[in-house]
Structure 1
Amino acid sequence: MDIDLPPEDAAFRDEVRAFLAAHLPEAIRAGAAASPTVFVEPEIGQAWNAVLNAKGWLGYQWPEAHGGTGWSPLRRYIFEKECALAGAPNLTVLGLKLVAPVIWTFGTEAQKAFYLPRILSGEDYWCQGFSEPGSGSDLASLQCRAVLNGDHYVLNGSKMWTTHAHHANRMFCLVRTDPGAKKQAGISFLLVDMNQPGISVRPILTVAGDHEVNQVFLEDVVVPARDLVGDEGQGWAIAKFLLENERGGSCHAPKLIYDLDQLLQAAKGESDGRGGTMAQETHWQRRAARARLGVQALEMIELKIISELAQGRKPGPQTSLAKLLASNLRQEIDLLAVDLYGPAGLQLEWTRPLYGDNAPAPVHSRDAQMAAPRYLNSRAWTIFGGTNEVQANIIARSVLGLGG
């Protein structure tokens, strides 16, 4: 969807396009295209982060005071859209987009001075310690315990579905510091050094064969009291702030548009089994057209959110609506890919990575090889960042006035 931009923002868009054309390496683009997971491997993601950091664009959502670009919401949208349409990899969201805003909003001056530059430089790679066994959608029931002992906390418990914990040297973590308080009131937010005794990481392989998530065990783990963010008992409020940043302020529609366009182009060369191509297969094309309409509607919602942010207002339940729609559309587009390639789209290669010189040879094509693992990986979209059911409940209460 094209929108009319003010001349200065159109010039900025052209600058971004020119930069991407000149500085997005083909190896990084190919690695992103052959990564079925939401979070690309650090060797791809961190390499692209370094390119953007050298340009001064890595902190594109950050205030200038903390080393960011200070761009307007519209320019952030333009940047994200051009990166998506160029096939650039996703950025390392856990550090850049989740914990960094928490640190500059709730952290001490010492925390800001120490952690924020290390996120931009890539010296720190973060994971998120929120969910636990038995505490997923009901996050407030978490049981990981932190006991203050002089100038440090001692942590015991475990965290579940911890993305890239096997790569991370830092974890931002929700812990229970007051077991006697109401469950939301007794939670605090800690920054944890992963390179210490008492922390073990157990891999969880997904049905696609990807090692993206883990279970993390914490046994008498020591965290200096200076790494408490905000006050004790403020963790739930900080977590809500973080989740609002996760669901809002970023744009999913451009990446969905890019992936759908790639499928439509590929359909011109894929047989429909009846002497024609999938570009002529009515049912598949009808589904693709319906998905495009859905993505365009999502883009309008995301632009509305950007407009709210530009005016200094919180977008509210629109972020839940955007997350709900993006998750469903992601899964529908990935299903379209499986159906496009037919039996060749069912190949499920367990070797990783699927990019680079040592990648397994595809049965049909590299894109067909990606279809099944991507489809299986995207099953998680309707779970992470708040399940579809959670988003629907938020919309029901906040928009429709249901549920009291």
Structure 2
Amino acid sequence: MQRLYRKRIVLGVGGGIAAYKSAELVRRLRDQGAQVHVVMTRGGREFITPLTLQALSGHPVHLDLLDPAAEAAMGHIELAKWADLVLIAPATADLLARLAQGMADDLLTALVLATDAPVALAPAMNQAMWRDPATQANARTLAERGLRLFGPAEGSQACGDVGPGRMLEPAELAERAADCFAGGRLTGRHVLITAGPTREDIDPVRYISNHSSGKMGFALAEAAAEAGARVTLVSGPVHLPTPDRVERIDVISARDMLAACEAALPCDILIAAAAVADYRPQAVAPQKLKKSPDSDDGLILQLVRNPDILATLAQRADRPFSVGFAAETENLREYALRKLKTKNLDLIVANDVATPGIGFNSEENAVSVIDRAQRETRFARTGKGKIARQLIAFIADRFDQA
């Protein structure tokens, strides 16, 4: 099982002799399917060349705080938003001290302050430096702030000393990095997720649909599976691979999707991320409709309402914990609150699809989650995979409190 598959990892390389192990670490992470971007401190470049890590990672190595090649020359912000995990290996005594003080005097330390991704540190230094009270205090401070410490190990050191301070081996660091994504928050739970568009036939060659790509729903399915859930994904027509450990049911129309969801019940949590067509043609033409060569008149289609899948499932006596999506182009909060109430939901995810670069067919998203008490929690713009993991953690918390 590749728990790091498609995960975005920023690997920070500090200025210690253990930096030679970073090359092997990059390879191990990529073997597990991770995407890796490397950030090097000035000291790290003295021990291993950026070219080596560029060749192994497949990406240019990031060196400067203000990068002219980066968007708006703000490379640390771009990387901070991109990362699913920031792993610093080796993390020297100097790096621990600067991070504990909240300094941002180079790209790596600025990135740590700017990211909301988990940050893990693999200490590597002389045994006396590790045992020094100042280093121990810095390590405690960082751990109390939620940064994870991987190691150090004990053994012989490059200087000839023996004791604690060795950086963990790359294989173990890759395993611990994978553990960061194995939360198990939903172990034993059944999560039903809808995704993608629906299609409503007009005739044998035409249909009514929308711009949904299904990416958000599929990312949620992957995140729920990572959290230990048994996941059933009911998807409209999309061109996406099925996430690992997810049962996928393909459907076409809104009525197909409702039937598939009802057949998948019972479930503990329902997340309705699909963009379901509200209307369908009253009658489907048996043959392709032709325009009249003798008339410029338009074509009139009589439409009827489709069943409301989310409202139907959320009104059941055995209703699951129900989460809806409101993809709107205006009056986002107003319309989201209306859906929350009328559909009898526990949470609604409000998504402003009028904002360029997020929502339909994009790789990024930015959403707000509103609960029954009208409390709103915002999730800043970032990749859909990262947003999905944040949403699943949030939904798991609220499910446990329900």
> Same-fold call, TM > 0.5?
no
The higher relative CO (CA closer than 8 Å, separation ≥ 6) is in: 1
Structure with the greater alpha carbon radius of gyration? 2
TM-score (norm 2): 0.26
TM-score (norm 1): 0.26
- Greater share of strand: 2
